[in-house]
Amino acid sequence: MTQPDPTGRPRVTGAWREGDPVGDRRFLDVGPIALESGATLPDVRMAYETWGSFTGDNAVLVLHALTGDSHVLGPVGPGHLSPGWWDDVVGPGRAIDTERFFVVAANILGGCQGTTGPASTHPDGRPWAGRFPEITVRDQVAAELALTDALGIDRWHGVIGGSAGGMRALEWAIEHPERVDRLFLLATSAAASAEQVALSSTQQAAITQDPHFAGGDYLENERGPADGLDLARRIAHIAYRSEPELQERFGREVQPDGRFAVVSYLDHHGDKLVSRFDAGSYLVLTRAMDGHDVGRGRGGSAAALARITARTVVAGIDSDRLYPVHQQQELAGLIPGCEGLDVVSSLHGHDGFLVEAEQVGTLAARLLD
């Protein structure tokens, strides 16, 4: 975390920054985005990737979760520290077939992999850092809408999202029903629950209480809140997996270095996130997720979900303790175009929407046909 970045500043964040290898990213400047708070975020840049050829009616929008990015498909390489996060679902001949569909994935507004966020450059030439405004899921969709218009896409054949991506997919289908033909919601909810907010706020406290957080203005310092981000990821990762899986994989095994194997596992995932993510983005994005509530200002969840006109598949993970199946059952029961809840069987908890490629892919293919 101390090696110099391409600008000559200390590397105190895992964010992609100007001068880093671009990889497969493309960029579009979509102009100012008016935020729900009343503020305006100027000069927004969206980082995105595409696969396949656009024929006018075959575009599919894939929306990533909290710590994902636009790299849905592809290998590790310059600019991409991790392989595509849905390689087994998206691609030539896959369920979301890039030989049939024009697939688009953008880094989320407030993220840290090329789209405007806290680690991006403010118009004054310094990082946004702690000055980056609070944003909502609806603000993030507004930025994705601007990208959609810039790409010349009038209507999405499909909008697909899991977890935080499912929150945005819901907002797309509620706020812009005329632009969404098919909707796939995975392991998500109509509103963030009390437990989800509780877990999120604890992770946020781990970051803000790190002595190197500096009120969010650490990007030009010699050290950043790496320990806080590491701890936040460990807390989150416990919730992402299931108790039976952790017990089956690790039990009470102790490694030669004296650590419990499960502790080593959490150490590994904390280190990985610190190497590729930004603590400021983690705060901005989790706070947006905390505020997720499709019924806000719309007369409640039932009234909001009744606005959806898309043909819809809703899927839950049977072992998901972070977004339990009853939350997807609520969605399936209230969305007019949904024929019922599909349940994915998995030992992997919430992360089953990423891991269970065969089951998830079957549902996606059924919807998109």
277-303 pLDDT tens trace? 999 999 999 999 999 999 999 999 999
List the chain domain ranges: 26-193+293-368, 197-288
pLDDT at residue 5, rounded to an integer: 53
Measured CA to CA in angstroms, residue 188 lies from 143, 236, 350 at distances of 21, 16, 10
CB 214 within 8 A of CB 342: no
197-288 shares the fold of 26-193+293-368: no
pLDDT digits (tens, 9 = 90+) for 24-78: 999 999 999 999 999 999 999 999 999 999 999 999 999 999 999 999 999 999 9
Whole-number mean pLDDT of the chain?
96
Per-residue CA distances from 199 to 44, 151, 206, 288 (Å): 30, 37, 11, 14
Q: For residue 10, what pLDDT is reported?
A: 53
| pLDDT at residue 338 in the model | 97
Catalytic residues: 163, 320, 350
Q: How confident is the model at residue 2 (pLDDT cuts 50, 70, 90)?
A: very low
Q: Which CATH number fits domain 26-193+293-368: 3.20.20.70, 3.40.50.720, 3.40.640.10, 3.40.50.1820?
A: 3.40.50.1820
In angstroms, the Cα distances linking 13 to 114, 207, 209, 221, 346 are: 13, 13, 17, 10, 33
Tens of pLDDT, residue by residue over 91-101, are 999 999 999 99
**The overall pTM is greater than 0.85:** yes
What integer pLDDT is reported at residue 3 of this predicted model?
40
Fold of 197-288: Rna Polymerase Sigma Factor; Chain: A (1.10.1740)
Number of residues assigned to the chain: 369
pLDDT-derived band at 11, boundaries 50, 70, 90: confident
